[in-house]
Amino acid sequence: MTWLLALLLGTALAQPRSGALDMSRELQALQADDSANPGMLWVQEGEALWQRPEGRAAKACADCHGAAPASMRGVAARYPAWDTASGAPLDLAGRIQSCRSQHQQAPPLARESEPLLALSAYVGLQSRGLPVTPPEDPRLAPARARGEALFRERRGQLNLSCAQCHEERAGLRLGGSLVPQGHANGYPQYRAEWQALGSLQRRLRNCMVGVRSVAPAYGAADYVEIELFLAQRGAGLPVEAPAVRP
Amino acid sequence: MPAGPWQGAWLALLLLLLAPAAWAGGDAARGRAIVISRQKGLCLLCHSGPFPEERFQGSLAPSLAGAGRRLGAAELRARITDSQALNPDSIMPSYGRASGLRHVAPAWRDKPILTEAEIEDVVAFLLTLTDD
């Protein structure tokens, strides 16, 4: 009996729900229409950058990876992934940064810079519709566990955890905003609030600042750890990059 | 009044009788401004209430309508000052507490969300919310 209840509860919780499903019709239509989705402007820019030789190696992404629609299909769906060179997990933007410094030998692209967002959006688009599929790599487990701990830890002057909003109160309203389950399947994304494309890290910083908490600097390991956990709890959701959100 | 062991008790009773007058120290109009403010009280992020002009009220908490009928001044003060002392799982911030918090941003560090005087204003206002 208890077991049955646990099973039923387990399946209910195991059903992740994309934030897109709870947006207004207008925003849903904007996300679905490539000729109207503002994120596609960054995708176009990313496609141009993919072809452009850069750095002392004078190589373009395309010189190593060929056509992105074939070689980058499914990549965003499985990030963050383990990086053997640095012995740490990397998110997609971190991977692009490391290709740029190691293989192109070009000056670094800052987090949240337009070219890095554009390349992330272009690579992200190649996984659109594919299910989020976090790798079962055991080397990722400790970082993912730290991410879950961060997700459950109360923080800031308002003393709230991510889980208290996104697990226990998803679907309710925080002021005028519907609290989504807080999945990471649509990044980088165009937020009406930002009037721009932004990364998952930017979104996480917004939530942290909202509870009057310290937000670690862009690129901090904390964000990659949280993203690892978010990918696991959102496994199976379709990749929506570049998504649109309020 | 005869001096003796009863004197303390009389004093306590006297203080208790006078206490409601002291509680009336808050200013209900200032309290209302704090409650509806999105920067100061933040109450409407989670609560709704009888504020027809305020769009975007939250649904994470019970309505504040009737709070002043359901709860007395002491209960309201305790709730606002340290909700998590009443219920450790409460998501309502402990407005009068500045310790035991983690990763607080520098601008807010070691400060309670509301001062004692501001909490008195909010209590005075909530006591006027007697209709459902």
Q: List, in order of start, the domains of chain A with CATH numbers.
A: 2-34+135-245 (1.10.760.10), 39-125 (1.10.760.10)
Write down the pLDDT at residue A236: 97
Q: What is the pLDDT of residues A122-154, one digit of tens each?
A: 999 999 999 999 999 999 999 999 999 999 999
Chain A residues closer than 8 Å to B95 by CB: none
B3 falls in which pLDDT band (50, 70, 90)? very low
Tens of pLDDT along A91-128?
999 999 999 999 999 999 999 999 999 999 999 999 99
pLDDT class for B40, splitting at 50, 70, 90? Answer: very high
Give φ, ψ of A224 to 5 degrees. Answer: -65, -40
Reply yes or no on whether the pLDDT at A10 is more than 50.
Answer: no
Closest residue, chain A, to B94 (C-alpha): A158
Residue to substitute from A157, A168, A209, A222, interface B, most B β-carbons within 10 A: A157
pLDDT at A14: 63
Closest Cα in chain A, distance from residue B128 (Å):
23
Q: How far is A153 from chain B (nearest CA, A)?
A: 9
> Of B38, B93, B104, which has the smallest distance from its Cβ to A213's Cβ?
B104
Calculated CA dihedral for residues A149, A151, A155, A156, nearest 10 degrees: 150
ipTM of the complex: 0.89
Contact B103 A155 (CB under 8 A): yes
Cis, peptide link before residue B50, omega less than 30° from 0? no
More confident residue, B11 or A219: A219
Q: How far is A171 from chain B (nearest CA, A)?
A: 9
- Banded pLDDT at B132 (limits 50, 70, 90): confident
**Residues of A labelled as active-site residues:** 207
In angstroms, rounded to a whole number, what is the distance separating the alpha carbons of residues A40 and A23? 19
The predicted model gives A13-36 an average pLDDT of 93
Contact A175 B84 (CB under 8 A): no
pTM metric for this prediction? 0.90
Mean pLDDT of A209-214: 98
Residue B1 has pLDDT above 90, yes or no: no
* B56: chain A residues, CB-CB within 8 Å: 173, 175-176
User: What is the predicted pLDDT for the residue at B6?
Assistant: 53
Say yes or no to pLDDT of A8 above 50: no
pLDDT above 90 covers a percentage of chain A that reads 94
* Residue B6 burial (CB count, 10 A): 11
**What is the sign, positive or negative, of the torsion defined by CA atoms of A218, A22, A39, A98?**
positive
β-pair partners for A238:
A131
Total count of residues recorded for chain A: 246
Q: Does B85 touch chain A (CB under 8 A)?
A: no
Residue of B58, B94, B105 lying closest to A212 (CB–CB): B105
List Cα–Cα distances, A204 to A162, A229, B44, in angstroms: 10, 13, 22
> What residue type is assigned to position B19 of the chain?
A
